[in-house]
Chains A and B, each alone.
Chain A
Amino acid sequence: MPFYIVEPEVPGRFGKQCVFKDRLARPPVVEKLHYEFDGWSGDDLLSVILTYIGTLRLAAALQKLDPPVSGVEFDDVVVTKSSEYRRWGELQPDNLDDFVWLKINGDVGVDDFGIAGRQQVGVADRYLVVSERVLATLRSLNFSQGTAVEYLHPSSRSM
């Protein structure tokens, strides 16, 4: 089954209510997530530095997958609008949807969600990889600002 590197929309950033266990890690180790929106074009999957949130309808769609979606847990996230969001309010939806935190914990190329790449000493190179069916789910909703390219597993590249 093919897998894809996905880069979702990044319409916001970590908010002040975030509690980090390791801010420097990639992805950062977050205990409590607060996502502050500077804008939003309506995509269902959003990110900031390898940390992902999704709309409730995305979560519901993923939870309907059969066999059950793997490599992700859903948790609470606090979402707020920044002053930038309000300043240009006519460009954004008046109200934010309800969002959930997608905590990625799967194995790349095996589970539906995984974080590929590695963080060596110094520069990191990591990204989200999802299964074909997850990408299809994203595209069935709103994925207008996201991008996806096929993921080539290192073992397949060496062959």
Chain B
Amino acid sequence: MAFENSEQNKPVDASTQAQRFAWAASVSEYQGMTSSSIQNRVDANQAAIESGFFNDLVIDFGNEPILAQASHYRDYPTVQSTEPAHQSLFQDPFTAPNKLITGESNQPNISGGVKDLNSAGQLFTGMVHEGLKTLDFLSKPAAINDSIISMGPILDTAVNYYTNPEKISHIQQDVTQFRDSGLNQAEQVIDRLSHPMNQNDVGHNSAAMSPWFIYGLKKPVSRATAVEAGGLTMDEAANLSKSELIDKLGTAGVEWTEQNYRDVFFKGHPELVGFEDQIVVHHAIEQQVLEEYPMLFTAGELNDLSNLRGIPKDIDNTFHKGELRKDWDSFYRKYPPGCLSRDDLRTRIIEHAAEIDRIHGKKFEPPQ
């Protein structure tokens, strides 16, 4: 869908960039980010999962199951295949929907595992190398999502190593190398892990959601729900290619969207990357339209970059959830479903969103 948005690709001048930086730097959350303990973080994440914020997932490392977000690990295409050391982590997403599926991640392949090592030195060096890559990745914003996924092969390698007494003599040398090379990154990782998760940690990726939408519902549904809505069993779905599954479910009113909207927004506005925890992404034509007027728009249309607006979070409650929601609620009051022809209602909705842009455009980030 091509909503007019001539501003979206304009470069941001230095003044605007400076203002954004000052704005973000003024937010207290950037300060004092070290506190608490790793356990607090685990508790916070677990609470988020239990409250439904994240989809359930248990990664079972023996007696200490680790909970993590799973939804976007399942449905995205494989970026790079790996040869995992821990095969149990790599489950068929169709048959084991509640297991972590690293092979289907859309995240960077931060650790492919260590393989075919003939000596302890090679093994541990490989482990250090993998570990440093992981630490380097984790020290970056929005990396927390991907942290757990990176651990499997490294842990496997470590476990295998330490079960062989002949390899122990190499540890001191390798640990020294590890310490010297990785201390800084490790400190950053520990710093990031030792406070409760916030939007900065989560990054725009953690807003990632299932790419499956059922017509008439605003929120995405799980793959299992999508498959069921399409009249298929999980076994039947497992026997279809991805494109076949998309086509098959599409005929049953289940829509596939390639990316989640926050990813789309920040990829379309790279100048705002780093401010993910400060920007609420709003749909110019509200997602609520999917529920109020089923079949009038698709989730893919509404998640198009041209329909996405950034809103500074400090005005989210008053502007986004205040003025804009009241404005759209007024529209829904005025135009019940079926009050106009499909084309007329669709046009009216697009015009309404454009009118909001005209009135409030300067409040958006970037301005409209």
Contact = CB atoms under 8 A, between A and B. Distances in A.
A123 interface: yes
Given A49-B333, A86-B53, A10 B317 contact: no
A159 to B, nearest CB: 27
B321 A39 contact: yes
A122 B53 contact: no
Interface in B268-314: 280, 288, 291, 313
A13 B333 contact: no
Contacts of A145: 317-318, 322, 326
B339 interface: yes
B326 A7 contact: yes
A91 B329 contact: no
A10 B53 contact: no
Contacts of B339: 122-124
B322 A41 contact: yes
Contacts of B52: 83, 86
A2 to B, nearest CB: 22
A24 B338 contact: yes
Nearest to B53: A86
A48 B329 contact: yes
Contact of B53 (A7, A48, A87): A87
A11 interface: yes
A90 interface: yes
B330 interface: yes
A9 B326 contact: yes
B332 interface: yes
Q: For this complex, into which size category does the number of interface residues on chain A fall?
A: 35 or more
Given A7-B326, A10-B325, A47-B329, A119 B317 contact: no
Interface in A113-148: 119, 122-127, 145, 147
Given A13-B288, A39-B321, A41-B318, A124 B333 contact: yes
B35 to A, nearest CB: 15
A92 B316 CA distance: 10
Interface string A47-76: 111100000000000000000000000000
Interface string B226-255: 000000000000000000000000000000
A3 to B, nearest CB: 18
Nearest to A8: B326
B333 A127 contact: yes
B333 A50 contact: yes
B203 to A, nearest CB: 12
A145 B330 CA distance: 15
A50 B336 CA distance: 12
Given A24-B338, A86-B51, A90-B198, A39 B316 contact: yes
A51 to B, nearest CB: 10
A127 B326 CA distance: 12
B367 interface: no
A26 interface: yes
Contact of B340 (A81, A91, A122, A126): A122
Contacts of A25: 336
Nearest to B332: A49
Nearest to A42: B317
A148 B340 CA distance: 29
A88 B316 contact: yes
A92 B52 CA distance: 17
A112 interface: no
Interface string A1-42: 000000101110110000000011110000000000011110
A26 B333 contact: yes
Given A10-B328, A119-B336, A127-B333, 17 more contacts: A7-B326, A13-B288, A13-B291, A39-B316, A39-B317, A39-B320, A41-B321, A47-B329, A87-B53, A88-B280, A91-B313, A91-B316, A92-B317, A123-B340, A124-B334, A124-B336, A145-B317
Interface of A: 7, 9-11, 13-14, 23-26, 38-41, 47-50, 81, 83, 86-88, 90-92, 119, 122-127, 145, 147
For the complex of A and B, 5 pairs with smallest distance between CB atoms: A39-B321, A10-B325, A10-B329, A41-B317, A86-B53
24 contacts: A7-B326, A9-B325, A10-B325, A39-B316, A39-B317, A39-B321, A40-B317, A40-B321, A47-B329, A50-B333, A81-B51, A83-B219, A86-B52, A86-B53, A91-B313, A91-B316, A91-B317, A122-B339, A123-B335, A123-B339, A124-B334, A124-B336, A126-B333, A147-B326
